[in-house]
A = this chain, B = another copy of it.
Amino acid sequence: MTDRSAADRRLTEQVRVVGSGLLGASIGLGLSAKGAEVIVDDASPSTRSLAIAYGAGRAPAADDTPGLIVVAVPPDVVADVVAAELERFPEALVTDVASVKLAPLEQLRARGADLSRYLGSHPMAGRERGGAVSARADLFVGRPWILAGHEGISYRRAAAIEHMALDLGAVPVEMDAAVHDRSVALVSHAPQLVASLLASRLRDGSGTALGLAGQGLRDTTRIAGSNPELWVQILGANAAEVAAVLRPLRDELDSLIAALDDPEAPASRRAIAEALVAGNEGVARIPGKHGQDKRFASLVVKIDDKPGELARLLTEIGEEGVNMEDLRLEHSPDTRVGFAEISVLPEALQPLAAALEQRGWTLMEAER
């Protein structure tokens, strides 16, 4: 055990980060803060200089001997850069941080790269653009960091990658590359395209129609604001898995449109109802604190849209000794009130509701 941790320590002492955009620069900042010697490289000398100026690490030198190399370049060129790094540093362990994991692995295998020293990863940091100017040492704190295993390397051999994720405050999650891609197609990539398609319809909408937009529309289309340049690469690299999610969705959409074209038919009513029930069932499977989570109960408090009201509410909830598990705000433009949906443990609901009404707050029923 002593030998192994000594080996790990050696591996992470010199880390080479290739690609100094938001992710690469943030990794550099975070590892530098942990005392690692970080080397920053980038195809663009000016981008590299910027990341170095921000403190992400030092410029490469001829005698660099990195134990670990992190490739943080756009999805399109991941395999090329990983292959080049594996060849140039024949002792180093190499990972990448792209959102798709199977395509680069297969490209590397096809060209005969040394896969015993490569294990892809995917930090789900959620803000994959912005460049080194947006980099933060704590970008990965509390986020899942997927380690995409394959049969050419053991997780134990790749322990330095897991240690890096831990050093950056992330939560390592081991997952086969194919499983990763299928999973993110379902929970991230297909939803991105569906949100884009739905938002796209709004281009033709009247101002009157858009003026009626409520929280439901805002929520369903929010991620349609994402960066097209990045997403076209992600979707292209995971195309088969994304299509596998969208194809049955398209078939069900076809059936629904047919039902809407003949809405009085009993079969149509049933088809529409079944689609809605299926949606209920699907959304209930999402874990987490939001809305559907049966672990928590919620109440809705009316808050005047003026400075300090929400802070006062949350302070008073704290004074009641209640731990708020989640908070969701809702308010329409041009109105003077908002609503705060407060999630708490079920046993805290009734005492909190009584205490808030006592303190003069107006409670509404939770919407769902």
- The answer to whether B335 and A283 have CB atoms under 8 Å apart is no
- The answer to whether A286 and B217 have CB atoms under 8 Å apart is yes
The 7 tightest CB contacts between A and B, nearest first, are A196-B279, A311-B314, A224-B279, A183-B209, A199-B282, A142-B335, A239-B263
Given A126-B367, A232-B276, A311-B317, also A201-B190 (CB < 8 A): yes
For residue A43, CB closer than 8 A to chain B, the reply is no
- The answer to whether B277 and A228 have CB atoms under 8 Å apart is yes
For residue A153, CB closer than 8 A to chain B, the reply is no
For residue A242, CB closer than 8 A to chain B, the reply is yes
Expressed in whole angstroms, the minimum distance between the Cβ of A150 and any Cβ of chain B is: 16
Expressed in whole angstroms, the minimum distance between the Cβ of A119 and any Cβ of chain B is: 18
For residue A154, CB closer than 8 A to chain B, the reply is no
Q: Give residues of chain A (34-75) contacting chain B, Cβ–Cβ below 8 Å.
A: none
Residue from B171, B173, B200, B323 within 8 A of A282 (CB atoms):
B200
Count, chain A residues at interface, CB 8 A: 136
C-alpha gap A323/B221 in the complex (Å): 26
- The answer to whether A333 and B200 have CB atoms under 8 Å apart is no
- The answer to whether B209 and A216 have CB atoms under 8 Å apart is no
Given A194-B197, A199-B278, 5 further pairs, Cβ under 8 A: A187-B212, A195-B279, A200-B282, A202-B282, A222-B291
The number of times this chain is found in the oligomer is 2
Chain B residues whose C-beta falls within 8 Å of the C-beta of A254 in the assembled complex? 250
Stretch binding the partner chain, chosen from A12-20, A132-140, A156-164: A132-140
- The answer to whether B221 and A208 have CB atoms under 8 Å apart is no
For residue A272, CB closer than 8 A to chain B, the reply is yes
- The answer to whether A212 and B188 have CB atoms under 8 Å apart is yes
For residue A211, CB closer than 8 A to chain B, the reply is yes
- The answer to whether B213 and A288 have CB atoms under 8 Å apart is yes
C-alpha gap A253/B259 in the complex (Å): 18
C-alpha gap A126/B256 in the complex (Å): 24
CB-CB nearest in chain B for A318: B308
C-alpha gap A22/B128 in the complex (Å): 44
What residues make up the interface of A, taking CB atoms closer than 8 Å to B?
Answer: 124, 126-127, 130, 134, 136, 138-139, 141-144, 146, 171, 173, 175, 179, 182-184, 186-188, 190-203, 205-206, 208-226, 228-229, 231-232, 235-237, 239-240, 242-243, 245-250, 252-254, 256-257, 259-261, 263-264, 268-269, 272-273, 275-292, 302, 307-308, 310-311, 314-315, 317-318, 322-324, 326-337, 362, 364-365, 367-368
- The answer to whether A200 and B278 have CB atoms under 8 Å apart is yes
C-alpha gap A233/B278 in the complex (Å): 17
C-alpha gap A269/B254 in the complex (Å): 25
CB-CB nearest in chain B for A196: B279
- The answer to whether A287 and B203 have CB atoms under 8 Å apart is no
C-alpha gap A179/B211 in the complex (Å): 12
CB-CB nearest in chain B for A276: B228
Given A311-B317, A314-B314, also A246-B253 (CB < 8 A): yes
Chain B residues whose C-beta falls within 8 Å of the C-beta of A275 in the assembled complex? 193, 196-197, 200
- The answer to whether B221 and A282 have CB atoms under 8 Å apart is yes
